[in-house]
Amino acid sequence: MTPAEELRARRTALNRRRAATTDPQEQVSLAEEVERIGRLLTTIAVMNAAGAAATLAEQTAAVEALLLTGRVNPFDADIRAAFGAAADRAVRLADEASKAFARDGFLAAEAGQAPPEVDFAPPVAAPAAPPASPPAAPPGAPPVPPPGGGALPPIVTGRKFAELAEDYRLCWAACRINDAKRAEVAKSVDKLLVGRARYEKVSARSNGVPWQLLGVMHGLECGYGFLKHLHNGDSLGGKTHRVPEGRPPNWNPATGSWEDSAVDAVTFKKLDKVPAWPIEAVLYALESFNGFGYRPLGIRSPYLWSFSNLYTKGKFVADHVFDATVASKQVGAALVVKLLEERRLWP
């Protein structure tokens, strides 16, 4: 079925249920959903595959929530038939669409390999003074403009929290969201806040990992969709098949929830063992997902800083292939947290 065919089948099933129910509130809710599906059908023809998949997944979640509050009636068989395997179909479509737009996505410096090992051990003493100058940038890499005319902190290489903590503090203080990109950052924050209650549930089950961090991870790995594993964006219809493979180990898609899988992702990455979550620990956790390969090139990772004054161009466009002329088109993770801070939602 195409996304349009899926939506038409759903509209028919919901219309039949609306005609059968005697609950006025449910009738109104179903009518609103039918109207929304009609609007989607008028625009879906001009949407790209990725947008269609995202819309389909979003609409599936909305109707599932709606039906949980409704009454069972004989036409629920139509509902089940129309929505039968919609989640898996939406995920498969999204996965296929993402391949066509891979160049715009975040690629790890060590793409195709397991995520780098992380070491959250704190510095044992005050950090040493930074080096006088940053590492040499690759040929063609543009300079990063300083905020307000002041000097930006030099780029530090390393892979351990103790080596990078001061760098994160300085970058966080210097970071400014580009005015032209603020609306895109705000859109990401709005999407994150939709799932706040679910992130808070995972936080409560994982020794207080910040719900804000969980939300940013969810956006980066799953596009804020609740049909995928937090580990790597694979479908909840089975265990993960990409790195990390086979998670959760006892996963049953018939009974497991997104929250159950997310708790496994957090504990697998040992984030539940981190004793405290200052901003530098959050940024270290996020950068470690993507890899530290930008630092030796004299460029701050777009995975964190895209759309800010700390990043302009330079990106891994394929496995181990760096292009100094390509700019990331995705919101950097740190900027989402920065805007949460502006809205007094962090820390």
Summarize pLDDT for 122-181 with one digit per residue, the tens.
654 444 444 444 444 455 454 444 444 457 888 999 889 999 999 999 999 999 999 999
pLDDT tens-digit series, residues 4-20: 778 788 888 888 888 88
Mean pLDDT of the residues in the chain: 78
Compute the chain's Rg from CA coordinates. 22
pLDDT tens-digit series, residues 254-311: 899 999 999 999 999 899 999 999 999 999 999 988 888 899 999 999 999 999 999 9
CA proximity to 141, closest of 270, 295, 255: 295
Residue with tokens 């780029």: 155
Mean pLDDT of all residues in 109-122? 55
For the chain, the helix, strand and coil percentages under 3-state DSSP, each to the nearest 5: 55, 5, 45
pLDDT tens-digit series, residues 186-211: 999 999 999 999 999 999 999 999 99
Confidence bin at 336 (pLDDT 50/70/90):
very high
**The 3-state secondary structure of 181-243, one letter per residue:** HHHHHHHHHHHHHHCHHHHHHHHHCCCCCCHHHHHHHHHHHHCCCCCECCCCCCECCCCCCCC
54 pLDDT more than 60 = no
pLDDT tens-digit series, residues 199-242: 999 999 999 999 999 999 999 889 999 999 999 899 999 999 98
Please state the pTM of the whole predicted model.
0.64
65 pLDDT more than 80 = no
Annotated domain spans of the chain: 3-100, 105-347
91 pLDDT more than 70 = no
Strand-strand pairing, 315-318 and 321-323: antiparallel
Rounded CA separation 294/326 (Å): 13
For 214, the token pair is 């969980």
Mean pLDDT of all residues in 28-46? 71
CB 303 within 8 A of CB 287: yes
Kindly state the DSSP code that residue 308 receives in the 8-state scheme. Answer: B
At 206, the amino acid letter reads S
For 242, the token pair is 């990409």
